[in-house]
Chain A
Amino acid sequence: MLAAGSIVRQMALRPARLALHLALIVCSLLMAGPFLWMVSTSLKPNDQIFAFPPEWIPRVWMWVDYANAMQAAPFALYFRNTGIYAGGVLVFQLTLCSMAGYAFARLPFPGRQAIFVAILATMMVPSQMLLIPLFVLLKHVPLAGGNDLLGAGGNGWLDSFAGLIVPQAVTAFGIFLMRQFFQTLPAELGDAARIDGASEAQIFWRIMLPLTKPALATLGIITFQAAWNDFLWPLVVTDTEATRTLQLGLQVFQDLNSTDWALLMAATTVTSLPIVVVFLVGQRYLVRGIALTGLKG
């Protein structure tokens, strides 16, 4: 059976396939090069790190750097905090963006177009400009962190997981993405169910949503990675160790004039792994057979 969308399949000749694999390997090395350099540096002894031009194979394999790096700061705590932040954002986004995306794509409600344009418009302002107002907003959330009904007196949602997660729970990007994907699903898919008396919500939940697994997987990967690697937002919102995330924790190895490169690279390698895992899991949904099924004429 022909695998659809795969030009590769059309290349039956062996030399063509070999050439393709060669090209892919070269490209993969180029793409993954810096990451590999990071791992290589994490294992090199200090006096080899700045060999000029750079060397790739460690002269002595410094596995101990990994242990030292993880002990330089409470990384287990930072892993947990970052997991809560990224996981929380992930769950919210997948839920809210798919619902809103579907509504914008398939459910006519008043003002739909105008609101969509306004949502997109908010993406067009640089996020640095929004830091201060967002910070002040979080500080004044009523009845949180010691605040009274009017939002005064305490710290609101600052330095809390709520403050980290909730402002990131929905993004224009996520809504836009899901809208586009829902638009590729034929509207008539729900007709049979409608005739049987299903509500629109049931149609969404039972029919439409399951067909967007690839889109959800992609949104999930992107959202998780963005939150996991996020530096600026946790910097602004968090103050104490209790909510500190990994990216902030990595700074313990750096300063203005000197950086502990070996330990920094080791720590960065370790903190990158969960994203790679999420990617590996998610990309399994980006495979033929998961999407449209049962579309008969």
Chain B
Amino acid sequence: MLLEPRTSPQISRRSLLAGTAVALASVAVVACGSASPAPVATTAPAAAPTKGAGAAPTAAPTVAAKPTTAAQPTAAASTSTGSLTISFWSSLMGSKEAARAGLAKDFEAANPGMKIQHEGFFDIMQNNEKLLTAMVAGNPPDVVSNHYYFVSNYANANALVPLDPLMAQSKMADDLFVPSILQLGQWKGKTYALPIYADTMAYFYNVDLYTKAGLDPEKPAATWNDMIADAKKMTVRQGGKLVQEGMSVPQDASEDLSNMFYAMLLAGGGSFLSGDGKTAAFNDASGQQALQTMVDLVHTDKVTDIGFGQGLSGAATPFYDNKTGSRYDIPPTIFNISKYAPKLNYAISPLPAGPKGQATPVLAFEMFIPKGSKNQDNAWKFIAFAMTPPEQVKFNKTSNHLACEPEALQSDPFFTTNKYVKPFYESLIGFSKPFPITPAYADVLATLQQQLQAAVLAKSDVKTALDTAASYANDQLSKV
């Protein structure tokens, strides 16, 4: 058989233009169709444009019928339909799975007939994504639990049910909660979310390595200078290669990194935002000192090397393997160590004092009610139940976090005497300050983490890195 090439039609210029024209025309049609202002309901705006090409009626979902005047405290409650099944979306998975399941079971036992229907997201960003899509479409779940830093975002967009009136109804006083924790769920003076668990930061150190370096494990570093000196003593190199780091300094653009920076910023008397919350304050002298200390640990004091043991959070950290002298960390690590390195001989103490004394940041995971929920009465019932001291104790003992109420914390020796949890508890009660609270935080955080990383990797000097992050932050803060 002969080889005869035959050409089939090429994509012609005409059809190229035609295809583009079709696409652009559709844009024009849709744009014209939806240029009219969207309906008042703030949680269901996108319905009109997505009806596609043509004059579809602006059939906003029926949820728009629900009251948007959330100013009246009991209005929301009285018009909710009160289904017995409460839909609950949360990021309370993994180590918190058992605690959450226990909470749901207790609630169902105390309220026969009611059921908690749970959907879990281990990634807080996916939790956020899914909630946003549901809010836009007008059918969000009844109760959501997520990282506190989403709360101000949702609250600022008026997408959450204010909880002060409900708290008053249930006779729940503000002082039930540790003040620094309660703030995390508030925005512009109003409470939109209540905390289910909290984390502060503390200083973890390896007792064996401390002793080997000639240090007294009963007297861990009390100040930054001590911390740096101790870290240097615990740094071991063999043949020019680092085999043991004196202190772990995070080098990924991650929460670990920004957490450590923030903890040191606070210990230097600094703060993330100015008093009025309108400008960034973390690039002042105390911020620069905090970051410089971290940079020096890596490059001047050389207590660790670039890339030593860094990896996916929770995976392959040299602390588990007796290769790290000390690190800043949070309560869940206690759980991880007991599971993956049960023989590790380590101890925990409150963070060393900085130039302005001791300080620790605190973050929390919150529970809140999206406005579109059709079941707000029962949603509140569930949240109120989770806030009772016995449930707080149970939840946090099971999952290795801190309860958010002084009453809960003091009622159980787990928090006040357990040698690993006690330092976190003391820090919380003694000198904790909330992590930054602003809707712009999630956005600014990404940039800040990149700049912190640049400084730690010596790609940028401290002042430039912080100023770059601060100027971006100011931009975003001005748009809040």
A51 at the interface (CB under 8 A from B): yes
Q: Among the listed A113, A131, A158, which residue makes an inter-chain contact with B9, where contact means beta carbons less than 8 Å apart?
A: A113
Tell which of A131, A139, A253 has the most Cβ of chain B within 10 Å. Answer: A139
Q: Can you list, as one digit per residue, whether each of B316-331 has a CB less than 8 Å from chain A (1) or not (0)?
A: 1110110100000010
Within the complex, the shortest CB–CB distance from A212 to chain B, in Å, comes to 16
Interface residues of B (CB under 8 A from A): 1-2, 6, 8-9, 11-12, 14-16, 18-20, 22-23, 46-47, 49-51, 57, 59, 61-62, 87, 91-97, 117, 119-124, 126, 129-130, 132-134, 136-139, 147, 309, 313-318, 320-321, 323, 330, 332-333, 335-336, 339-343
A183 at the interface (CB under 8 A from B): yes
Beta-carbon contact of B121 and A251 below 8 Å: yes
Beta-carbon contact of B129 and A131 below 8 Å: yes
- CB contact list, A41-55 vs B, under 8 A: 46-47, 49-52, 54
Beta-carbon contact of A252 and B93 below 8 Å: yes
Interface size class on chain A is 35 or more
Within the complex, the shortest CB–CB distance from A184 to chain B, in Å, comes to 10
Within the complex, the shortest CB–CB distance from A26 to chain B, in Å, comes to 25
Beta-carbon contact of B61 and A152 below 8 Å: yes
Tell which of B49, B87, B137 has the most Cβ of chain A within 10 Å. Answer: B137
Interface residues of A (CB under 8 A from B): 46-47, 49-52, 54, 105, 111-118, 121, 131-133, 135-137, 139-140, 150-153, 155, 158, 183, 187, 235-236, 239-240, 251-261, 295-297
**Known A52-B309, A150-B57, A255-B97; contact A137-B23, beta-carbon cutoff 8 A:** no
Beta-carbon contact of B136 and A136 below 8 Å: yes
Question: Using Cβ atoms and an 8 Å threshold, which residues of chain B touch A151?
Answer: 59
CA distance A283 to B473 in the complex (A): 53
Beta-carbon contact of B46 and A136 below 8 Å: yes
Beta-carbon contact of B59 and A152 below 8 Å: yes
Nearest opposing residue in chain B for A239, CB measure: B119
Beta-carbon contact of B340 and A117 below 8 Å: no
Question: Using Cβ atoms and an 8 Å threshold, which residues of chain B touch A140?
Answer: 47, 50-51, 59, 61
Within the complex, the shortest CB–CB distance from B149 to chain A, in Å, comes to 12
Beta-carbon contact of A121 and B93 below 8 Å: no
Beta-carbon contact of B1 and A236 below 8 Å: no
14 extra A-B contacts, CB within 8 A, seeds A111-B18, A135-B133, A158-B139:
A46-B339, A52-B317, A52-B320, A117-B18, A132-B133, A132-B136, A136-B46, A136-B136, A139-B138, A140-B61, A152-B59, A255-B95, A256-B122, A259-B94
